[in-house]
Amino acid sequence: MYNILMHSDEVSRVEYDPNHPFKPGRGKQLLDLLKRHNLIYEDNQKVISPQPLDESLLLLAHTRYYIDLFKRADEGEFSLEMLEAGLGTGDNPIFRGMYRFALITSGGTWQGAQMLDAGEARFVFNPIGGYHHAGKNHAGGFCYVNDIGIAIMDLIKKGRRVVYIDIDVHHGNGVQDLFYKDDRVLKISIHESGMTLYPWSGFQNEIGADAGRGYNVNIPLLKGTDDEVYVEAFESVVPPLVKAFGPDIVFAQIGGDVHKEDPLAHLRLTSNGYKRVIQIINELSPKIMATGGGGYNVYKTSALWALAWATFCGITPSDHYAGVVGGMMYGPEAHAGSLEDEPFVAKGAEKDEYRRHAAEVVDYIRKQVFPIHGIGRA
């Protein structure tokens, strides 16, 4: 089966605002890195230009009222109602073509999920998707349309069991809200604590409600947390829950803003911890739908996504240009043309505090969530 990369030159040219930190051009930089490191030439790999989403599918995750406001904003109208819906703010500015932009980015995620469900692919990566903050009736956190929610909702309506894993540094609040009372989707978000970062949510006691109680899992970590503590927490919680749930497909939002050089957040992961988490996700399901999401150091984000692609595809990067112009003498890489970082390890009292907090979160999940899934029972 194929490994599919969704890429749109049209989307890569979009700009929210010249000074806005969200850069859709990351998709083009990713493709360039994949070519440079010989990661996109296998016979079982395809690059596909996504088709715009059928507008009727927007209603799977959004109200008609919000979609109408969104379309009117795209057409040049402006009203107080739009501001109340998060449209026209600093985070979510109104720009020409934003409705088509949302349809194409959402179309990539929906199309990829359909290909996986039909057995046409083993892994699909839509780096221009991953808008996990968009709500039913509002935009937020640079997100206008919740492509993840649309694609998942369509699958569960067909009887599929879905796991959603979110490793973006920000809590996936929009996806959580859509499925908070639903036991057909197991949602796991590991992120910087809402005590110090937008969207100020995603605490460990948010475990779902009604039928969905125990199917919403949050692993909030202290700012400054490094690879070691992050991976320990992830390994302690995610594999046992996913295996107990038994998904037909795993969605993974793999935002690159967990990197220690990201300007908008405060976790301190390197490519080493990030790649280890991707390896774990890759072992959890024969069908994986990955999306991009956050990442505001454009080069580091693209490099992390290139490593993720290589890991999901089971291949090793090799730089054609190392040692020549654009390689280790003149490239932006940290060392010798590699996509990978030098290790970073927090030490002393701060490391003890990161580990203590993570252990408390994991212990809470083991006590409150694991029993619901039959984990730990004799």
**What does the pLDDT look like over 21-32, one tens digit per residue?**
999 999 999 999
Does residue 334 contact residue 304 with C-beta atoms inside 8 Å? no
**pLDDT number for residue 338:** 80
Say yes or no to pLDDT of 118 above 60. Answer: yes
Say yes or no to pLDDT of 328 above 70. Answer: no
Residue 80 belongs to some domain of the structure:
yes
DSSP single-letter state for residue 371 = G
Say yes or no to pLDDT of 372 above 60. Answer: yes
Q: pLDDT digit string (tens) for 176-225?
A: 999 999 999 999 999 999 999 999 999 999 999 999 999 999 999 999 99
Q: CATH no. for residue 357?
A: 3.40.800.20
Assign 320 a pLDDT band (cuts: 50, 70, 90).
Answer: low
Residue 369 belongs to some domain of the structure:
yes
As a whole number of angstroms, the distance between CA 270 and CA 344 comes to 7
**What residues are annotated to the active site?**
133
As a whole number of angstroms, the distance between CA 29 and CA 256 comes to 14
**What is the residue range of 11's domain?**
2-373
Q: pLDDT digit string (tens) for 77-97?
A: 999 999 999 999 999 999 999
Strands 185-192 and 216-221: parallel
Say yes or no to pLDDT of 337 above 80. Answer: no
Task: For the chain, give the mean pLDDT.
Answer: 95
As a whole number of angstroms, the distance between CA 354 and CA 187 comes to 23
**pLDDT number for residue 321:** 60
Which among 343, 347, 338, 305 is positioned nearest to 319, based on CA atoms?
338
* Count of structural domains, the chain: 1
As a whole number of angstroms, the distance between CA 139 and CA 156 comes to 24
Residue 32 belongs to some domain of the structure:
yes
Residue 254 belongs to some domain of the structure:
yes
The residue with greater pLDDT, 275 or 377, is 275
Assign 319 a pLDDT band (cuts: 50, 70, 90).
Answer: confident
Residue 245 belongs to some domain of the structure:
yes
Strands 121-126 and 185-192: unpaired
Mean pLDDT along residues 141-155: 98
Does residue 39 contact residue 52 with C-beta atoms inside 8 Å? no
Say yes or no to pLDDT of 322 above 60. Answer: no
**pLDDT number for residue 168:** 98
Assign 377 a pLDDT band (cuts: 50, 70, 90).
Answer: low
**pLDDT number for residue 334:** 45
Q: pLDDT digit string (tens) for 277-291?
A: 999 999 999 999 999
Residue 244 belongs to some domain of the structure:
yes
Length of the chain (residues): 378
Residue 378 belongs to some domain of the structure:
no
Say yes or no to pLDDT of 139 above 90. Answer: yes
